[in-house]
Chains A and B, each alone.
Chain A
Amino acid sequence: MKYKVNEKGYYGDFGGAYIPEMLYPNVEELRQNYLKIIADPDFQKEFHQLLKDYVGRPSPLYLAKRYSEKYGANIFLKREDLNHTGAHKINNTIGQILLAEKLGKKRIIAETGAGQHGVATATVCALRNLECVIYMGEVDIERQAPNVARMKMLGAKVVPASSGSKTLKDATNEAMRDWINNPVDTHYIIGSVVGPHPYPDMVAIFQSIISEETKKQLLEQTGSDQPDYVLACVGGGSNAMGMFYHFMDDENVKLIAVEAAGKGVSSGFSAATTYLGKEGVLHGSRSILMQTEDGQVVEPHSVSAGLDYPGIGPQHAHLFKTGRGQYVSITDDESLEAGLLCTKLEGIIPAIESAHALAYLEKMEFKGGENVVVCLSGRGDKDLDTYIKYFNL
Chain B
Amino acid sequence: MSRRAFQRGAKSNISSLTSQVSDLKSQKMNRIKKLFQEKKNILSIYYTAGYPNLGDTIQIAEALQKSGADILEIGFPYSDPVADGPVIQASSKQSLDQGMTLKVLFEQLKDLRKNVTIPVLLMGYVNPVLQFGVENFCKACAEVGVDGCIVPDLPMAEYEEFYQECFEKHNLSNVFLITPQTAEERIHKIDGLTNSFIYLLSSSATTGKNLEVGNTTEAYFGRIKALNLKNPTMIGFGISDKQTFDKACSYANGAIIGTAFVKAIAEGNLEESVSNFMKKFRD
Contact = CB atoms under 8 A, between A and B. Distances in A.
Interface of A: 8, 16-22, 24-25, 163-164, 169, 173, 176-177, 180-181, 183-184, 278-284, 291-297
B82 A177 contact: yes
Contact of A295 (B129, B152, B201): B129
B181 A183 contact: yes
Given A21-B201, A181-B206, A281 B127 contact: yes
A293 B96 CA distance: 13
A18 B152 CA distance: 9
B263 interface: no
21 contacts: A18-B126, A18-B154, A19-B153, A21-B152, A21-B155, A21-B176, A21-B201, A22-B177, A22-B201, A25-B183, A163-B93, A176-B82, A180-B82, A180-B204, A183-B181, A183-B204, A281-B127, A281-B153, A295-B127, A295-B132, A296-B78
Interface of B: 78-80, 82-83, 85, 89, 93, 96, 101-103, 125-132, 152-155, 157-158, 176-179, 181-183, 186, 201, 204-206, 209
A296 B206 contact: no
A293 B131 contact: yes
A22 B158 contact: no
Contacts of B152: 20-21
B130 A17 contact: no
A119 B136 CA distance: 45
Given A18-B155, A20-B82, A25-B183, 9 more contacts: A18-B158, A24-B155, A24-B181, A180-B82, A181-B209, A294-B102, A294-B103, A294-B131, A295-B130
Given A24-B182, A163-B89, A295 B80 contact: no
B181 A164 contact: no
B13 to A, nearest CB: 27
A11 to B, nearest CB: 15
Contact of B179 (A173, A183, A282, A292): A183
A294 B83 contact: no
Nearest to B237: A22
A280 B127 contact: yes
A25 B181 contact: yes
B182 A21 contact: yes
A359 B20 CA distance: 63
Nearest to A180: B206
A169 B158 contact: no
A283 B201 CA distance: 21
A180 B83 contact: yes
Contacts of A24: 155, 181-182, 186
Contacts of B128: 294-296
Contacts of A173: 80, 82
B79 A296 contact: yes
B90 to A, nearest CB: 8
Given A163-B89, A281-B153, A296-B96, A21 B179 contact: yes
A19 B155 CA distance: 6
Contacts of A293: 101, 131
A161 B131 CA distance: 27
Contact of B181 (A184, A291, A292): A184
Contact of A282 (B80, B83, B89): B80
B160 to A, nearest CB: 12
Most buried by B among A19, A25, A177, A181: A177
Contacts of A183: 179, 181, 204
Contacts of A22: 83, 177, 179, 181, 201, 204-205
Contact of A17 (B78, B79, B82, B155): B155
A180 B206 CA distance: 7
Q: Which 8 A-B pairs have the closest CB atoms?
A: A295-B131, A295-B128, A294-B101, A183-B204, A21-B177, A20-B152, A296-B79, A25-B181
Given A20-B177, A184-B181, A297-B79, A177 B206 contact: yes
Nearest to A18: B153
Contacts of A282: 80, 127
A293 B204 CA distance: 32
Contact of B130 (A8, A184, A281): A281
Given A20-B153, A22-B205, A25-B182, A164 B126 contact: no
